Amino acid sequence: MRTDVRIYRMMLLSTAMLLATIALGWWGVLFVAVAFAVIDRQWSVAAESGLAAALAWLLLFIANALLPGAGIVGQVGRAMSIPAPVLPLLTLLFPGVLAWSGATLAIALARAMGRPRVDLVGSIAMPLPDSTLAGKP
């Protein structure tokens, strides 16, 4: 896939994550990641979903910091008894892991139902034979 297509794809996915978060809260990240994995079962979908969710929440975090009343980060950090710099990192880690997990689970369920992943050129990725997984030649 070309670099410009990957950039546009990430921008669209991040925008979808952002809008879904605004509309549905943190559940929106999970819904978009699962939908993306169902539509496109490439090997990179889980990583792309995680990165897009973290980018979307970074934009939300920046917007929240620029709006009046940005002292909420310190208050929440003190309420959770964690240092103030740790909260932004956790804020970005949570949606990334949530989106990655949702996409991975959706792809695993699709594979279990007989819809295998596809590789980057669109051909079906062939599963390994059982003897290879068991360590037998």
Tell whether 133 is covered by a domain. no
Tell whether 131 is covered by a domain. no
Tell whether 81 is covered by a domain. yes
Question: Residue 69: what pLDDT?
Answer: 62
Tell whether 125 is covered by a domain. no
Question: Residue 74: what pLDDT?
Answer: 65
Give the chain's residues under pLDDT 50: 126, 128-129, 131-132
Hey, is 124 helix, strand or coil? strand
Could you tell me if 33 and 49 are in contact, meaning their C-beta atoms sit under 8 angstroms apart?
yes
Residue 30 CA to residue 117 CA, distance in Å, equals: 19
Tell whether 70 is covered by a domain. yes
Domain limits for position 78: 3-119
Number of domains present in the structure of the chain:
1
Question: Residue 9: what pLDDT?
Answer: 92
Residue 13 CA to residue 55 CA, distance in Å, equals: 10
Tell whether 126 is covered by a domain. no
